[in-house]
Amino acid sequence: MLPQWIDDGLPFSCTGCGKCCTGAPGYIWINEEEIEAIANRLEITIDTFLKEYTIREGDRISLRDLPEKNYDCIFLEGKGCTIYDERPTQCRTYPFWPQNLESKESWLREAAECEGIRADAPLVKKERIEREARLTKEKSTMLE
């Protein structure tokens, strides 16, 4: 259930700037289904994929980022994602992550990171925001 201040939706339209895929250390959590899909896309085994493209943090697995390249996600090329059709849920649902929707302040803070969040962008309906926030939570859960 989202807070009331989101009732009318939120203004967002992705410009494709690629900034959310670079620029600071962070995690892009992936679940088992996503691991399999990306490994298939790369035509490598799951073991090779895990070894070369991911890191483990406790019970969870994240895509690797590259400190030597401004913390680019390992799949970022220019401004584009080289596994776009198989990108993890967390990438698909950004910026509608639960932590960004906690308060107006947290949403506005995220606007400083994402140029797609701007007052003149089309409004995204509450139902979609709710669905994406829920998906982010469900799909980023720990591996069994």
Using the rule CB under 6 A, which residue among 91, 124, 129, 133 binds ligand SF4? 91
Residue 17 engages ligand SF4 in binding (rule: CB under 6 A)? yes
SS3 of 67-118: HHHCCEECCEECCEECCHHHCCHHHHHCCCCHHHCCCHHHHHHHHCCCCCCC
Answer yes or no whether residue 115 interacts with ligand SF4 by CB under 6 A: yes
Q: Is 14 in the site for ligand SF4 (CB under 6 A)?
A: yes
Comparing CB distances to ligand SF4, the nearer of 11 and 18 is 18
- Does 39 sit near ligand SF4 (CB under 6 A)? no
Q: Could you tell me how far CA 4 lies from the centroid of its own chain?
A: 24
How far apart, in whole angstroms, are the C-alpha atoms of residue 76 and residue 93? 17
CB of 15 to ligand SF4, least distance (A): 4
Measured from the CB atom, the residue of 18 and 98 that comes closer to ligand SF4 is 18
Q: Is 29 in the site for ligand SF4 (CB under 6 A)?
A: no
Among 9, 11, 19, 41, binds ligand SF4 (CB under 6 A): 19
